[in-house]
A and B are shown apart, each in its own frame.
Chain A
Amino acid sequence: MIDTKKLAKEFNNLGEGAIVLIETAASKILEVHLAAVKWLSDKKYTQIILSTSRPCKNLLNLYQKNNIDTNKIVMVCSVCQEKEKKEQKNSKVIHLQSSSSLTEIAISLSKCMESMKDKKFVFIDSINTLLIHNEPNTLAKFIHSILTKMRTNNVSGLLISLEAETDKEVRAEIAQLCDKIMCDKIVKV
Chain B
Amino acid sequence: MNFSMKKILPKKRMGTTLKTAPRQKRLAIKTKISPKQKKQRPPFQKRVSFAKSSKDTKKAQKAEEFVKTGIVGFDALLDQGIPLGTSVLVAGGTGTGKTIFCLQTLFNAAKKGEKCLYLSFEESEQRLKKHLDDFKWDWRDLEKKGLLKIVRKEPFSMTASIEAMLAKAKGELLIDINEVLEIIPKGFQPDLIAVDSITAIASAFGKKEDGYRIFIEQLFRYFETLTITSFLISETEQMPTIYSSSGIEEFLADGVIVFYAIKQGNIRENALEVLKLRGAKHQKKIVAMQITDMGIKVYPEQEVFGKIGE
Contacts and interface: CB of A to CB of B under 8 A. Distances in A.
Contacts of A107: 288, 290, 299, 302
A103 interface: yes
A141 interface: yes
A134 B269 CA distance: 13
Interface residues of B, number: 15
Given A101-B269, A103-B306, 5 more contacts: A102-B306, A103-B269, A138-B307, A141-B305, A142-B305
B266 interface: yes
Interface string A92-120: 00000111111110110010000000000
Contacts of B17: none
Main secondary structure of the interface of A (DSSP, over half): helix
Contacts of B264: 100-103, 134, 138
A142 B290 CA distance: 18
A98 B266 contact: yes
Interface string B273-310: 00000000000000010100000000100111111000
A104 B266 contact: no
A103 B266 contact: no
B22 interface: no
A142 B288 CA distance: 13
B35 interface: no
Nearest to B265: A100
A145 interface: yes
Interface string A130-142: 0001100010011
Contacts of B306: 102-103, 138
Interface of B: 264-267, 269, 271, 288, 290, 299, 302-307
A103 B305 contact: yes
Contacts of B269: 101-104
Contacts of A102: 264, 269, 305-306
Given A101-B267, A104-B269, A138 B305 contact: yes
Contacts of B288: 103, 106-107
A138 B267 CA distance: 14
Contacts of B290: 104, 107
Interface of A: 97-104, 106-107, 110, 133-134, 138, 141-142, 145
A175 B142 CA distance: 56
Nearest to A142: B305
Nearest to B271: A103
* B303, B305, B306: residue with the most chain A Cβ atoms closer than 10 Å: B305
Nearest to A104: B269
B267 A100 contact: yes
A107 B297 CA distance: 11
Nearest to B305: A102
Nearest to B264: A100
B302 A106 contact: yes
A101 B265 CA distance: 8
Nearest to A134: B265
Contacts of A110: 302
Given A107-B288, A107-B290, A145 B267 contact: no
A132 to B, nearest CB: 9
The residue in A98, A100, A142 that gathers the most chain B C-beta atoms within 10 A of its C-beta is A100
A138 B304 CA distance: 10
19 contacts: A100-B264, A100-B265, A100-B267, A101-B267, A102-B305, A103-B269, A103-B271, A103-B304, A104-B290, A106-B305, A107-B290, A133-B265, A134-B264, A134-B265, A134-B305, A138-B305, A138-B307, A141-B305, A142-B305
B35 to A, nearest CB: 53
Contacts of B302: 103, 106-107, 110
A134 to B, nearest CB: 6
A71 B24 CA distance: 66
Contacts of A103: 264, 269, 271, 288, 302-306
Query: Which residue of B267, B288, B307 has the most chain A CB atoms within 10 A of its CB atom?
Result: B267
Contacts of B305: 102-103, 106, 134, 138, 141-142, 145
B140 to A, nearest CB: 26
Contacts of B266: 98, 100, 133
